[in-house]
Amino acid sequence: MSCRRGALIVLEGVDRAGKTTQCQKLVHALQQSGRAAEMMRFPDRTTKIGQLISSYLEKKSNLEDHTVHLLFSANRWEMVPLMKQKLEQGINLVVDRYAFSGVAFTSAKPGFSLEWCMNPDIGLPKPDLVMFLQLNPNMAADRGEYGIERYETSAFQRTVHQRFEELMQDSSVNWKVIDAARTIEEVHKDIKLLSECIISLAENQPVGELWS
Ligand code: TMP
């Protein structure tokens, strides 16, 4: 008998919403409760494609807007065999950003439709759960200065937030909105509960395909 598969759990949100902290806490909590869990993040800056993206984000190089969008997508696709392998082995994957960030950030640039942006990511492993850490961009800005990377300005982040709101209208994706304005522990409690439920539900179902 094949083992139960792991769940694909994604955390999304604007910058400073606490995604990375919450991903780490979730992986730790799942492991503590005896479940196999690992964290992944996109962009994965360790691969050759990831290094091109990283240099672009650090403003050390410039890339044409369509080109960098496709590189972000390729950076997800290159990890798909590994993701599928881990899920099949029963490992729960907790992912810091996914295709939704890809679409929200590029479509915040002038001249990019949501539809065009979604296309290259159609067919990726579909997350069983996408938790959106909801934080008003003004509150996010109050959490301290934005960094120096590309996209880290209040005006751009406000547009990104609007694009996420549009993406969340899509009922084919299992979105859950989490109020990220609370304490780290309060937010973690909700995330852990939702994740435990989805892990039980997903284990007997095949992995789906995103947006297809
Ligand atoms: P992070 O490594 O701090 O999460 O930042 C990555 C930046 O790249 C962040 O500003 C969001 C942006 N991004 C995209 O523009 N497209 C994508 O597909 C992803 C995953 C992130």
pLDDT, position 146:
80
pLDDT, position 35:
98
DSSP state of 125: B
Question: Ligand 1 atom 1: the closest Cα is on which residue?
Answer: 43
Mean pLDDT score of the chain, rounded to an integer?
96
**Alpha-carbon distance 65 to 156, whole Å?**
15
Nearest 5°: the CA angle 154, 160, 164 is 140
Helical H segments across 89-180, by residue range: 99-106, 114-118, 137-142, 154-167
39 DSSP β-pair partners: 94
pLDDT at residue 2 tops 80: no
Measured in angstroms, how far is the CA atom of residue 196 from the centroid of ligand 1? 27
CB atoms within 10 A of CB 96: 19
pLDDT at residue 3 tops 90: no
- Reported confidence tier of residue 137, pLDDT bands at 50, 70, 90: confident
Cβ of 141 closer than 6 Å to ligand 1, yes or no, is no
pLDDT at residue 1 tops 60: no
Measured in angstroms, how far is the CA atom of residue 204 from the centroid of ligand 1? 32
Question: Ligand 1 atom 15: the closest Cα is on which residue?
Answer: 105
Mean pLDDT of 169-192: 98
Cβ of 43 closer than 6 Å to ligand 1, yes or no, is yes
The helix (run of H) or strand (run of E) holding residue 10 is strand 8-13
